[in-house]
A = this chain, B = another copy of it.
Amino acid sequence: MSRTIFPAPDHDHKRCTNAAIAHAEAHCAARAQRLTPMRRQVLETLLESHKPLGAYEIIEHLAHEDRPAPITVYRALNFLKDNGLVHRIESRNAFVACVHNHECDDIVVFLICERCGTVGEAPGGTAAKALETAARAAGFVPKSPLIEIAGICSHCRKR
């Protein structure tokens, strides 16, 4: 787990946004999936913060032009999730854009700051693999490990 996995509050936001959008376009093109305007807007909304947003918060954010219905946003979110472009934070019933600082087949650990709400995304590494192995030892065939750790991030602790 690297030491830079948690986004600094003052980092260059447009840079990672542009990179993520470019990645999304390439990824969809490669898989013959369509990154429609709706889907792109939802993704961009999530990219504008590293905090998890609920579907209704996304709606609020997009409301300035033509407020989409909840189901529309949920469909876009499902598409993005199926394509690995966003993650769902189960403990928050909310979504974050994937920042791709991990291998695609890696188990991901979410670090959720209780103070500022920012979510860091870290490769699970050997610990996550060990969990899977232990589960298998109990006769359990794991599909999708879910690891979320709430706490206080380094930037908030310094304040």
Spell out A's residues near B (CB within 8 Å). Answer: 1-3, 5-6, 90-91, 93, 109, 111, 113-114, 120, 122, 124-128, 130-132, 134-135, 137-154, 157
Contact = CB atoms under 8 A, between A and B. Distances in A.
B143 A146 contact: no
A125 to B, nearest CB: 7
B146 A147 contact: yes
A124 B1 CA distance: 19
Which of A93, A127, A149 has most B Cβ within 10 Å?
A149
Given A6-B138, A90-B90, A131-B109, A148 B150 contact: no
A91 B2 CA distance: 27
A131 B149 contact: yes
Query: Mostly helix, strand, loop or mixed at chain A's interface?
Result: mixed
Contact of A157 (B120, B137, B141, B154): B141
Given A146-B149, A146-B150, A147-B147, A127 B134 contact: yes
A141 B151 CA distance: 5
B148 A90 contact: yes
Contacts of A130: 126-127, 130
A104 to B, nearest CB: 19
Contacts of A147: 131, 145-147
Which of A114, A125, A126, A140 has most B Cβ within 10 Å?
A140
